[in-house]
Amino acid sequence: MRNKILIVGLLFGMGVAIALDQRQRFEAPAMRWLYPGFLERLPSVTGLRLLKAGDGVDLVFDNGTWVVAQRFNYPVNDKPLFQLLDQLGRARLIEKKTALSKHHGALGLLEDASDSGSVLMFQGDTLLKPVVIGQQASTRPGTFVRFQSDDQVWLIDQALEVSAAAADWLAPSLLTINDQMIESIELSNPGEVKYRVVRDERDNWVLAATPEGRTLRYDTALTPLATTVGQLRLLDIALHDPARWVGAGSAVYQLTSSHRLTLRTAAAQEGYWLRIVVDSDEVDPSDASDATLQVKAVEPKRSPALDQVLGPSREALTRFDFRIAKRNFDDLNRSLEHFLKPQDGEEIDG
């Protein structure tokens, strides 16, 4: 359904834009489209392949959804896909450039060099020819391109930015959640004191149990624990590896909807990782192993509230580990001491 909306929105938006553009250019010299009839051909496209300097990604229309083939058919980020298709549909050949292949390198239009251009191929429609996308023009909005089978270079009127890295095309959303959706938070990390955060009578975040003789650094010191969870962004994915989660920390978010999210985090040589589990109230997430959480994980009745929170599907949550930024990892692993005023003689740790 999401993909149908994407295509319908694209067709409508491009149709309106093209109609307006044609009216504005009524008296201007005619310019050729990069892809004549692109709107009519788009429904037959079943995939896009992008290649650049040995890297490559296939975006495939599979069972009604655009997915990234090199990442286990994980959903595509709709926004850059929509933008790319929209720009290709609008693109006009506005200036004819060199037809000498010796000049291709200077324009970023070689195919097999470290600074090569990106080759875009369409699957499902052979009339949409593969195109090499080079550098953007420096003096006007536009991009140098050439069809893969032709040395002739053209300047088009769209500033195209494309990536051939599979991770760059993954749908980035992990959790859509705000402060008011959270009832309590509990952090348990190896080698650190476990602590719980709740709301007081004024709806401020406070420690459920403050260490004797200690106070928070400031009244809103704990607020980032509630806001961080809605700012998590996916960098990459990997198939779930139980070994990665030995000794992992956890942050448990009890939601006002009565659902509970356990966010497990681990640092590994290849980056920082997150695992999201929707678990039952029967399990203490701080004591349970990852395997136990998966066995006990709830598959609640379809809940609109939970569906709005979760970015990945339930299947994806079970199947994948999610790589996140270091700052996200750090925010989910703050020690209790981080939020307390330093004792006499201690320096403040920002």
Q: Are residues 150 and 240 in the same domain?
A: no
Judge if 108 and 235 occupy the same domain. Answer: no
In terms of domains, do 164 and 199 share one?
A: no
pLDDT band at 297 (very low <50, low <70, confident <90, very high): very low
* pLDDT tens-digit series, residues 25-65: 443 456 799 999 999 999 999 999 999 988 999 999 999 99
Residues 156 and 215 in one domain: no
Q: Quick one: 114 and 223 in the same domain?
A: no
Confidence of residue 295 (pLDDT cuts 50, 70, 90): very low
Burial class (CB in 10 A: 0-12, 13-18, 19+), 301: exposed
Q: Are strands 143-147 and 92-96 parallel, antiparallel or unpaired?
A: unpaired
Residues of the chain with pLDDT > 90, as a percent, come to 76
What confidence tens digit (pLDDT) does each residue in 171-207 have? 999 999 999 999 999 999 998 999 999 999 999 999 9
Report the length, in residues, of the chain: 350
Looking at residue 282, what is its pLDDT?
A: 46
Could you tell me if residue 190 is inside a domain? yes
User: Residue 299 CB: number of other CB atoms within 10 A?
Assistant: 9
350 belongs to a structural domain: no
Could you tell me if residue 348 is inside a domain?
Answer: no
Residue 345 domain flag: no
Which pLDDT value is given to residue 53? Answer: 87
The secondary structure of residue 34, as a DSSP letter, is S
Strand order in the sheet with 249-255: 205-207, 195-199, 182-188, 249-255, 260-268, 271-278, 320-324, 236-239
pLDDT of residue 345: 59
Residue 335: give the domain boundaries.
179-339
Asked whether residue 223 is domain-assigned, the answer is yes
* R_g over Cα of the chain: 25
Tally the domains of the chain: 2
115 pLDDT more than 50: yes
- DSSP calls for 293-348: HHHH---PSP-HHHHHHBSS-HHHHHHEEEEE-HHHHHHTT--HHHHBPPPTTPPP
Does one domain contain both 150 and 185? no
Q: Mean pLDDT across the stretch 227-233?
A: 95
Let me know whether 63 and 34 are in one domain. yes
* Mean pLDDT, the chain, whole residue set: 87
Q: What is the per-residue pLDDT across 73-111, written as a single tens digit (0 to 9) for each?
A: 999 999 999 999 999 999 999 999 999 999 999 999 998
Judge if 317 and 254 occupy the same domain.
yes
| pLDDT tens track for 320-332 | 999 999 999 999 9
How many other CB atoms sit within 10 Å of the CB of residue 20?
10
**Helix, strand, coil % in the chain, rounded to nearest 5:** 30, 30, 40
Could you tell me the pTM of the whole model?
Answer: 0.84
Asked if residue 270 has pLDDT above 90, the reply is no
| Residue 296 confidence (pLDDT) | 45
